[in-house]
Each structure stands twice: as structure tokens, then as C-alpha cells.
Amino acid sequence: MRKALYFLFLLLVGLAFGCNQGTKHPQADLINKNSTEALTDSAILQLADSIDKNQQQMEKYYSLVYQTKNEHTYVERFTWNGIPQLLIEHIKNEGLSSITRKYYFKDNDLILIKENRMLMKSDGSTFDDKRTYLRNNISFKQDARTGHSLAELQRMSFADTKQSKMSNNTDDYTKKIDLLNQMIEGSNNYEMVFDRFISTPDTKYILLKSKIPSDYSATILVNENDALTDSLASDPSIFKEEKLNMNWKIENDEAFYVPVAAKVTSASGLKR
């Protein structure tokens, strides 16, 4: 009888252990240690580091590369089972500046913004890193470092700085995140419709424009044709000012068309 009870105990322990061997949430080791309200700056950096290390396991979504007269910008979104973990905003003003902002989340709350800025000048470039730590969408600390090269920047330590005017305005952060998600979803000013198809001996492009009057446009490079691109090239008037149902990916800050026949899964980094 004792042996039977002992084996039953081992079986129950084994089942309980086995049920917990699924893929871990990227913040699993940290998520129960700190509530969002009690997070310290060091705990926030640990959470952000965990998210960075687990990006390849997450669902990834791209926006289009939106262009204005002076700059182009796009957003990447990383989620875990549909829950936002990270937004990355890329802004480039060719020949002048480059900005990357990373927005980290815990339990749908924004906890950290990392900003990397490169400013190109006639006498050389400057590089800046800034980190903004938040609780309940309110900043409680900012630190930064500066260098004249990327190598010098990485050798520098972060020093506390005076917080910006935006730091304690919850609405500003909420509006910013909403705007980035609009870019991902292609809504409001970022809803793009077909404008024209450009084909030269060397390149092919799908040109998009904003559905409502705005300064935004978008371009998608076509390296491989399918039924849709063939139709766009042969009879573009049918699609004029229509929203196209298509996939793309971003490489080297440029959007590339993904043909319908191409095998694309979330593991390859495309979720559109």
C-alpha cells in the first residue's frame, strides 16, 4: 500500500512539473518579483534586457516605411501571445540625423524608453543615448551619455539628467504609443492607398499615398513578381486609390514586397 501511494505521489509530481515546461514568457523570471508600481530603475533595465534577449521568439510586425519631404520613419512591434513587449521607432533624416527609440512594456504599461541619436555635423558626428524610466506612464528618472563615436559612446557611463517637459505628462506618452500603433496598423494619417507602379529595367516599385490628405507616402521595392504586381503593372487604374492587401518586410530601412507564393511564417520575422 505504501509503495502504491509513493508511486502515485511521484506520478502527480511528474505531471505537475511537465505541465509547466512550455515556452517561458520573456519576463517569466522577473515578472512576479516586482509590480509595475514598485519597479526600480535597475529592475526595469533587467526586464528590458530580458525582452531584448527574447526578441527572436516573439511575434513581429512591421509598419510601412513612411516618407515625408525631409525624413522617413517606420516602426517594429514585438508581442508575446498578443501582449505588447517592445516597440521600436526608426527615424532618419538623410545626411543629418538618425534616431532609434525603443519602448519597453510590462503588463501593458510603458516602463522604459531608450533613445539613441546620431547627429551628423560638418566637424563630425555626435552620438547620444538617453533612457527614461517610468511607472504608471510617469517618468521618475532620466539618464544619458554622449560620445563623438559609437565606440566612445559605449565606453561612457550614464549620468542622471534633468527630466524633459514630457516626463510627467501621461497623456503625451499615451498619445505617442497610440501614434506608433497607428503606423503599424496603417490607420488615420498612415492609411495608405495605391498611387502608381513604377517599372524600370533595374527596379520596380509600388508607390503608396495617404488616403486622407497628409504629407506621408510609402514605397515598396518589388524584387519578385506575383499575380498582384503583374496586375498593378498591366492595369494600374483598376487599383488607383485602393488599399492593397499585401505583405512586406523591412531590410536595411527599406520595405520589400513579399510575393504571395513566398513561404512566410512568424519565425521568419514577418507578421502582416
Gap between the Cα atoms of 159 and 156, Å rounded: 9
**Whole-structure pTM value:** 0.81
Partner residues linked to 198 by β-bridges: 205
Report the chain's C-alpha Rg in angstroms. 23
Residue pLDDT tens, the chain, 272 long? 544 444 444 444 444 444 444 455 555 555 444 456 679 999 999 999 999 999 999 999 999 999 998 899 999 999 999 999 999 999 999 878 999 999 999 999 999 999 999 998 877 889 999 999 999 888 999 999 999 998 999 999 999 998 765 555 677 899 999 999 999 999 999 999 999 999 998 899 999 999 998 889 999 999 999 999 999 999 999 999 999 999 999 999 999 999 987 544 333 334 44
Domain boundary assignment for the chain: 36-185, 191-268
- Burial string for 43-55 (b: 16+ CB within 10 Å, else e) reads bbbbbbebbeebe
pLDDT value at residue 21: 46
Sign (positive/negative) of CA torsion 70, 98, 111, 133? negative
**Rounded distance, CA 20 to CA 24, Å?**
9
Gap between the Cα atoms of 21 and 23, Å rounded: 7
Q: What is the pLDDT of residue 270?
A: 44
